[in-house]
Amino acid sequence: AKNGGGSIINVASVNGVVPGGMQGIYSITKAAVIAMTKSFALECAAMGVRVNALLPGATDTKFASALFHNPVILEKALNRIP
């Protein structure tokens, strides 16, 4: 903001919009990231700072490795992504 503007990018998840089964806490925290992004966007707009969130679907990470190595679970997860 001191330099006349900027951008903040938060990483949320599709689970923040449509909670995933057996992923309650994860889904809740990603919903919080989405709400935080919307609040910051309103607060920072007047300073020329854009605030956005990425909402990726399934991403192959160490945290999600069980998802990607179980074909049944992976198929269910992929079917939830538009």
Question: What residues are annotated to the active site?
Answer: 26
Q: Are 56 and 13 in contact (CB under 8 A)?
A: yes
User: Across the chain, where does the E strand assignment appear?
Assistant: 6-11, 49-54
Identify the CA nearest to 52 among candidates 36, 76, 70: 36
